[in-house]
Chain A
Amino acid sequence: MAELTDLASGRPAPRQPWASRRYALEIRQQPSWPRQALILGSALLAGLLVSAAILVAAGVPAGELLNEFVVQNLFDAQNLHAVLFQAAPMILIGLAGAMAFRARFWNLGLEGQMVCGAIGATAVALFDVGPAALRLPLMFGVAIVCGLLWVLAPVLLKLRLGVNEIISTLMLNYIAGNFLLHLLYGAWKDPKDAFPHSPQFRAFERLPELGASGISSAVLLAAAVALLAWWWVDVSRAGLYLRFVHANPRAAHALGVPVRRMILASVMVSGAMAGVAGFVVASGQEGRLTQAFYQGYGFSGILIAFLARNNPLAAAVVALLVAALFVTGRSLQVFYQVPFAMVQLIQAIIVISVAASDFFIRHRLQRVSVGAE
């Protein structure tokens, strides 16, 4: 027996591609927390350095970067105010993404649902539905319903007929977007200045500022929604079901988890949150229906959810950072003529870095000696 084995190994080894001969990829079963944090941190740092290099190349003095990104946002009251102002819709849209992705439903139609929510809220304002005191709650409610309805068709089509939601939700963005333009250039055009935006909302149709602080109540609303989302995924029974649906839908079904109902519910929650985000943009930020949705909210929502690993509280924090990036981007635009598209470029670089870090968290390159079997 031993003779035969020796004989076999005595022959020259068959040719192998270089990569498989020297290194092997191994899957790490349970990477430790410090290691995960270290890899994630280095990836973020790498992403930030690349972003900084690009900004410097675009004409921002290297010495000003720290000032613009950190000092201004944290210590300048006016800037901090602007960041919080920008953060409210970001938090909501990030949460909307996270809720859908938790059910493995790739809702790429966040922007369309947001537009629908804003259109619904604006309709309530323009047509003077209900008494003045109830106007804001009514706008809020109609925004929820509109956002939810815009995602209802894709989720029902997916559950009943297996229609790919990536395509259906993405395409519905264009329908919502063009309907918005149709309204703004047509029936809802502001008669005062003939610009393509709706007439201004009245004071009781706008989200108020909180006392003397000047902070918009929109942030408070977003924080409340984030807490609600945290309750739903971390505290309630549905959260456990949803984790099963995400981890192994077949097993979830076999174990008696109402898989379809869970998917339907969390996708509807996602659409509703996107609708509220639209309401916040219209009623909290702009004070009217505008075309402000085309700053890449949909894309930002997806990446906030991704960076936060679909965790609601983490999504709120990431959304704050993305909002700071937006605000800084605007001031860089003003002071250094850096195009605003740079903001999306930086977002993309950071997402790619974090996505790549996942590979290094889960795998390890192992050197293999050639002779051994």
Chain B
Amino acid sequence: MATALELVGIRKSFDGFAALTDAHFALRWGEVHALLGENGAGKSSLMNIAAGIYAPEAGAVLVDDNPVRFSGPRDAARQRIGMVHQHFKLVRAFTVAQNILLNLPPEPGSHGKRLRRVEAAVREKAAELGFEIDPNQRTDSLSVAEQQRVEILKVLLAGARILILDEPSAVLTDAEAERLLRTVQTLARRGAAVVLVTHKMADVKAFADRVTVMRGGRTVATVDPKQTAVGELVRLTVGESVAPAARRRSAPGAVRLSVRQLASTADANGRRALDGIDLELRAGEIYGLAGVGGNGQSEFAAAIMGLPPATDGEIHWAGFGDLKAAATPARRSLGLAAIPADRYGLALAGALSVAENFGVGQVGSGCYGSAWRLDRKRLDADATAAVAAFDVLGVHSVEQKAALLSGGNAQKLVLAREFSNAPKLVLAHSPSRGLDVRAAADVLARLLAARDGGAAVLLISEDLDEVLALSDRIGVMTRGRIVAEFAQPAERQTIGQAMVDHG
């Protein structure tokens, strides 16, 4: 079989953070080729380069053995490459046919005529693939699975023969996912080339002809999934088992937070982001919640912070009762500290000063003057001291805008604020994501220090290394539930297995 698409020695970094260091990938005509890896392994970045969305810093892209250079997705489409993104790119108020027309290169003919041609083409292609789609329906009235089919029709009708599907089954039910993957397999059998970006072992085993595994921005191996045991694939994905570094065991105290049957309301497709979580968190321990992103971690963090206040089940805070009775400010004054994953969206106001960002959590308690007068002198002094204590670099003055801090230093500023009041419970969601090694190590050391100081720490992370290195106990979260729990020392392999078994 001839090579359809080849990526050689690709390098790409974002804001100095290397997403891809030396990535290789070769796709043949007529195959379904899975691209497997943990979150942050670089799968999506690599495929965005193949689809012309990002430009690589080094390396080459070859289509049919000819080197190509894309200045945008249109160029990639000319080379018959089409990508279906994890987050659909549809205009909600447009019909199916209008969305597909929008993606086609301009050609002569009136809009009405072209739209009718597209409608006919949609009907024909949909019938060929066994999709039931009315080209005149508005896309916002379609289910998620139907929208995905529209996305696939969109790239196929634009002439794509090399099809990249980014986590296509993440939003689907099992039955829908299987149906989709069968269709994709049929396309490949008819001569197209398909890339299946995924983290689900079962899909890889059942539908892929070959699988390429990525880890930390590099290509690890390309193997035949039929000939490779799941355990071996897990090992390739998560890396060699390393014994966790020896560290002082903590002596967990009383239960500080117990979560019982926490569930969110079902969405339009009947899926629940949180589907009955049970968890106990003790003082002086770090509970690591591992799992592939998008399995309810963000919703769980939000539920603890009190962002969407209404959920079923109970979050019991020792000495207070059900937290649902408490809004975010009340939870904060109980001693909750939060380090959200989206630090610029949920933890900082970039347009405001470092001092203001530091002080906002504490001013309510009256330590920076009364409601009548904010004690700016004291706030600036405390902020300056905290910036020094937490080693936040790049602060010339605490009056400067927080947006000017680099990612790692912005995170340290968040920590400085959250730890300024000896919290009872620390919620840390992907606290070291996007940070360089030194900043990440600093952040993790702060979490350990908080635990040793008696705080209960809930560490939600997609980075298994981080979870293994820090946690006293480890839970695995899949599809809105905690499907397995491990005491330390835990086997990396076993946890990785638990993450994929239930996916």
Interface presence of B60 (CB below 8 A):
yes
Please report which residues of chain A, range 221-267, place their CB below 8 angstroms from some CB of chain B when the two chains form the complex.
235-241, 243-244, 247-248, 250-258
B307 touches A29 (CB 8 A): no
Task: State whether A7 and B374 are in contact (beta carbons under 8 Å apart), knowing that A240-B360, A248-B348 are contacts in the complex.
Answer: no
Please report which residues of chain A, range 292-343, place their CB below 8 angstroms from some CB of chain B when the two chains form the complex.
none
Cα A302 to Cα B61 in complex, Å, equals 53
A30 touches B401 (CB 8 A): yes
Interface presence of A369 (CB below 8 A):
no
A32 to chain B, nearest CB (A): 13
A297 to chain B, nearest CB (A): 30
Cα A253 to Cα B307 in complex, Å, equals 8
Interface presence of A1 (CB below 8 A):
yes
Of listed A4, A5, A240, A256, residue having the most chain B CB within 10 A: A256
| List of A residues within 8 angstroms of B329 by Cβ | 256-258
A247 touches B69 (CB 8 A): no
Cα A288 to Cα B367 in complex, Å, equals 50
Please report which residues of chain B, range 54-94, place their CB below 8 angstroms from some CB of chain A when the two chains form the complex.
55, 58-61, 67-71, 75
B60 touches A251 (CB 8 A): no
State which of A236, A244, A252, A373 has its C-beta within 8 Å of the C-beta of B371. Answer: A236
Task: State whether A16 and B71 are in contact (beta carbons under 8 Å apart), knowing that A247-B350, A251-B345, A253-B307 are contacts in the complex.
Answer: yes
B349 touches A254 (CB 8 A): no
Interface presence of A14 (CB below 8 A):
yes
Task: State whether A248 and B328 are in contact (beta carbons under 8 Å apart), knowing that A4-B60, A256-B361 are contacts in the complex.
Answer: no
State which of B55, B60, B338 has its C-beta within 8 Å of the C-beta of A254. Answer: B338
Cα A1 to Cα B333 in complex, Å, equals 58
Interface presence of B484 (CB below 8 A):
no
| List of A residues within 8 angstroms of B328 by Cβ | 253-256
Please report which residues of chain A, range 13-27, place their CB below 8 angstroms from some CB of chain B when the two chains form the complex.
13-14, 16
Q: Chain A residue with minimal CB distance to B370?
A: A237
State which of A7, A30, A257 has its C-beta within 8 Å of the C-beta of B360. Answer: A257
Task: Please name the 5 residue pairs, one residue from A and one from B, whose CB atoms are nearest each other, closest first.
Answer: A247-B349, A256-B332, A256-B329, A4-B60, A248-B349
Task: State whether A373 and B346 are in contact (beta carbons under 8 Å apart), knowing that A5-B60, A237-B371 are contacts in the complex.
Answer: no
B350 touches A14 (CB 8 A): no
B69 touches A13 (CB 8 A): yes
Cα A193 to Cα B67 in complex, Å, equals 89
Please report which residues of chain B, range 355-376, place their CB below 8 angstroms from some CB of chain A when the two chains form the complex.
356, 359-361, 363-364, 368-374
Could you tell me how many residues of chain B have their Cβ less than 8 Å away from some Cβ of chain A?
47
Cα A255 to Cα B307 in complex, Å, equals 10
Of listed A16, A257, A258, residue having the most chain B CB within 10 A: A257
Cα A93 to Cα B332 in complex, Å, equals 37
State which of B55, B345, B404 has its C-beta within 8 Å of the C-beta of A29. Answer: B404
Q: Chain A residue with minimal CB distance to B345?
A: A250
State which of A4, A240, A256 has its C-beta within 8 Å of the C-beta of B9. Answer: A4
Cα A160 to Cα B202 in complex, Å, equals 45
* A–B complex contacts, Cβ < 8 Å, 7 sampled: A4-B60, A30-B400, A237-B369, A241-B363, A247-B352, A250-B346, A254-B340
A6 to chain B, nearest CB (A): 9
Cα A256 to Cα B125 in complex, Å, equals 52
A14 touches B345 (CB 8 A): no
Q: Which A residues are within 8 Å of any B CB, using their own CB?
A: 1, 4-5, 7-9, 11, 13-14, 16, 29-30, 235-241, 243-244, 247-248, 250-258, 373
Of listed A1, A5, A244, A255, residue having the most chain B CB within 10 A: A255
Cα A248 to Cα B410 in complex, Å, equals 15
Interface presence of B351 (CB below 8 A):
yes
| List of B residues within 8 angstroms of A236 by Cβ | 371-374
Cα A235 to Cα B373 in complex, Å, equals 5
| List of B residues within 8 angstroms of A373 by Cβ | 55
Q: Which B residues are within 8 Å of any A CB, using their own CB?
A: 8-9, 55, 58-61, 67-71, 75, 305, 307, 328-329, 331-333, 338, 340, 345-352, 356, 359-361, 363-364, 368-374, 400-401, 403-404
A8 touches B372 (CB 8 A): no
Q: Chain A residue with minimal CB distance to B363?
A: A237
B190 to chain A, nearest CB (A): 29
Task: State whether A11 and B67 are in contact (beta carbons under 8 Å apart), knowing that A237-B371, A256-B333 are contacts in the complex.
Answer: yes
Cα A256 to Cα B8 in complex, Å, equals 49
State which of A238, A243, A254 has its C-beta within 8 Å of the C-beta of B307. Answer: A254
| List of A residues within 8 angstroms of B401 by Cβ | 30
B75 touches A14 (CB 8 A): yes
A5 touches B58 (CB 8 A): yes
B458 to chain A, nearest CB (A): 16
| List of A residues within 8 angstroms of B403 by Cβ | 29
A155 to chain B, nearest CB (A): 19
Cα A373 to Cα B370 in complex, Å, equals 55
| List of B residues within 8 angstroms of A9 by Cβ | 69
| List of A residues within 8 angstroms of B59 by Cβ | 1, 4-5
Cα A252 to Cα B332 in complex, Å, equals 12
Task: State whether A238 and B349 are in contact (beta carbons under 8 Å apart), knowing that A5-B59, A14-B69, A253-B307 are contacts in the complex.
Answer: no
Q: Chain A residue with minimal CB distance to B401?
A: A30
A8 touches B374 (CB 8 A): no
Of listed B69, B307, B340, residue having the most chain A CB within 10 A: B69
Cα A29 to Cα B400 in complex, Å, equals 12
| List of B residues within 8 angstroms of A1 by Cβ | 8-9, 58-59
Q: Supply 17 further A-B pairs (C-beta < 8 A) apart from A14-B70, A256-B364.
A: A8-B67, A29-B403, A235-B372, A237-B363, A237-B369, A240-B356, A240-B363, A241-B363, A248-B351, A250-B345, A250-B346, A251-B349, A252-B360, A254-B346, A255-B328, A255-B347, A256-B361
Q: Chain A residue with minimal CB distance to B328?
A: A256
| List of A residues within 8 angstroms of B67 by Cβ | 4, 7-8, 11
Q: Chain A residue with minimal CB distance to B60?
A: A4
Task: State whether A4 and B8 are in contact (beta carbons under 8 Å apart), knowing that A240-B356, A247-B349, A255-B360 are contacts in the complex.
Answer: yes
| List of B residues within 8 angstroms of A254 by Cβ | 305, 307, 328, 338, 340, 346-347
B342 to chain A, nearest CB (A): 9
Q: Chain A residue with minimal CB distance to B55?
A: A373
| List of B residues within 8 angstroms of A257 by Cβ | 329, 360
A248 touches B9 (CB 8 A): no
Cα A9 to Cα B350 in complex, Å, equals 39
State which of A11, A30, A248 has its C-beta within 8 Å of the C-beta of B404. Answer: A30
B275 to chain A, nearest CB (A): 24
Cα A30 to Cα B396 in complex, Å, equals 13
B71 touches A235 (CB 8 A): no
A248 touches B370 (CB 8 A): no
| List of A residues within 8 angstroms of B332 by Cβ | 255-256
B371 touches A251 (CB 8 A): no
A309 to chain B, nearest CB (A): 12
Cα A13 to Cα B68 in complex, Å, equals 10
| List of A residues within 8 angstroms of B348 by Cβ | 248, 251
B374 touches A237 (CB 8 A): yes
B80 to chain A, nearest CB (A): 15
| List of B residues within 8 angstroms of A252 by Cβ | 349, 360
